[in-house]
Amino acid sequence: MIKKILKGLLLLLALVTAVVLINTFRFSKEIPHKQALPLTAINDSAVQHLSEAVQIKTVSYADSLPVDTASFLQFRKFLETAYPLVHQKLPRQIFNQFSYLFKWEGKNAALAPYVIMAHMDVVPVEAAALDKWTVAPFGGVIKDSTVWGRGTADDKGCVISILEAVEELLRQNYQPERTIYLSFGHDEEISGTRGASAIADWFRKQNIHPELVIDEGGEITVENFPELKRPIAVIGVGEKGYLSFQLTVEKTGGHSSMPDKETAMDILAKALVNLRSEQMPFRMSGPVEVLLNRVGPGMPFGERMALANQWLFKPILKKEFEKSHVTNALFHTTIVPTVFNSGVKDNVIPGKATVIVNSRNLPDDPQGDVIAFMKKQIHDDRVQIIPEKVNKDASKISSIDGAAFKKIEDICYQVMPDVVPVPYLLMGGTDSRHFDDIAKGVIRFAASIDAKGYHGIDERLPINDFKRMIFFYSLLIKESGTENNAKPIEVKKS
Ligand SMILES: [Zn+2]
């Protein structure tokens, strides 16, 4: 009997091993290697323009604070001077004083337009972080073949690249096949309600449904997948939701010399501990699933085997991905406290404690589910959960089989040798979400490589990246009317 069972077990083990190996082998199909086109030279003035753009402090502080009118006006003047042909030849509409929409009429009116967008405002530089910068944040310093300063990576690099590409094509008297709109918002960093949202409203009213909207978001990375030894273009096809909740507990306070067993602060603190003790479900689906399937075949054997056999290794993969806060956020809806408020004096027990909790939710976890999860975790009716009015669930996901994604994929191959384009979901928000319901495809991508200093210290953009970005937009415009045809020649791995 025991012999029979052993025999059966051995057979099962052999079978599982065979299936695992076959799956791994099948998964090992090489990712195509493609040769890009050589980067074209840019005008000498281009780098100077980016530097100048950085020096104008178009800072968005807070929704409640007035716009720095002088800076935004100065920025408009700068654009008009730096890009005369754009301003001569393309009609400009102004939205809420400082956001702009340019229209470049295409030859073929039957084609739905493209919208190429970027934002002109930047986040402030923290006073406390000033001495950590190696350059003046608004100096527009050019050194080490790099332009330094607030906005170079987010998102003036894109604004200037787009305009450089268009100005040059206009100089050559070029006319695109398809109508191209250039959309520049002035308040992305404070939710884009006056800029991109107003511009999207205009499209809605005109009943114009763009074929493609492209905004900031993903980029090319070599640092995030070192095992692959190839650059990966992470192309944003959607973004997580942005939800905030106020958690409040009210309980009569009093003198700190005679405290109750439990205070409002105690209850709230316990609620937070419970809330944070577990995560919402691990979800290996949507764009992230496609991403793993595309990079998987290039990974070392162990990783490849695990990714090819998720039916068996999912628990191990889950554990691995949850180790890093970055990958964890790709597979989970996150929930974290960000503002804590209670108390006025050291000897007074406050009667009220509140905390703001911020959640970035996956498309599969809409707000209602997030609230239900929080209630279940907190398990205490004394804690009120109030959602903020501006809460927004995850965006729509643009199909990777759609024309928009395919076009960007195609251009990626042309601007970066040997690149592997993959779809992914942005963890932050961009202006492009305002176009979600009117465009056929919304893509978040710029052709920089591992840009540094987003919202942080020593923000900068290497001039070579800047060149590639200009090239990217220029190709996108020139190929707006053509079918996708992955032009670069496939080459054998050297
Ligand atoms: Zn940005």
426 C-alpha vs ligand 1 centroid, how far in Å?
12
Q: According to CATH, what is the number of the domain 44-225+399-478?
A: 3.40.630.10
251 C-alpha vs ligand 1 centroid, how far in Å?
42
pLDDT of residue 162: 98
276 C-alpha vs ligand 1 centroid, how far in Å?
29
User: Could you give the C-alpha distances from 317 to 216, 310, 328, 456, in angstroms and in order?
Assistant: 30, 8, 11, 31
Same fold, 44-225+399-478 and 243-387: no
Q: What is the pTM of this model?
A: 0.89
487 C-alpha vs ligand 1 centroid, how far in Å?
30
211 is catalytic: no
Residues 6+ apart with CB under 8 A from 477: 114, 116, 165, 166, 169, 176, 180
Of 154, 187, 188, 479, which residue is the catalytic one? 188
335 C-alpha vs ligand 1 centroid, how far in Å?
22
Domain boundaries, the chain: 44-225+399-478, 243-387
Pairing outcome for strands 254-255 and 348-349:
antiparallel
pLDDT of residue 494: 42
Closest of 273, 260, 236, 265 to residue 248, by C-alpha: 265
pLDDT of residue 128: 86
Of 121, 155, 187, 303, which residue is the catalytic one? 121
Residues 460 and 473: beta-carbon distance below 8 Å? no
Q: According to CATH, what is the number of the domain 243-387?
A: 3.30.70.360
Model confidence over 68-107: pLDDT tens digits? 999 999 999 999 999 999 999 999 999 999 999 999 999 9
Closest of 248, 431, 449, 442 to residue 353, by C-alpha: 248
356 C-alpha vs ligand 1 centroid, how far in Å?
24
CA distance 270 to 380: 10
CA distance 182 to 56: 21
* Torsion-angle region of 349 (φ positive above 0: left; ψ -120 to 50: alpha; else: beta): beta
Residues 6+ apart with CB under 8 A from 440: 112, 209, 210, 211, 212, 402, 403, 404
Give me the residues paired with residue 349 across strands.
254
Model confidence over 275-302: pLDDT tens digits? 999 999 999 888 988 899 888 888 888 8
User: Could you give the C-alpha distances from 120 to 72, 87, 157, in angstroms and in order?
Assistant: 9, 17, 9
Model confidence over 368-426: pLDDT tens digits? 999 999 999 999 999 999 999 889 999 999 999 999 999 999 999 999 999 999 999 99
> Counting beta carbons within 10 angstroms of the beta carbon of residue 5, is it exposed (0 to 12), middle (13 to 18) or buried (19 or more)?
exposed
Model confidence over 340-351: pLDDT tens digits? 999 999 999 999
Residues 6+ apart with CB under 8 A from 312: 16, 20
30 is catalytic: no
Model confidence over 213-230: pLDDT tens digits? 999 999 999 988 888 889
pLDDT of residue 490: 59
Residues 113-137, mean pLDDT to the nearest whole number: 94
CA distance 466 to 39: 11
Would you state the structure tokens that stand for residue 386, as one six-digit string? Answer: 């109030």
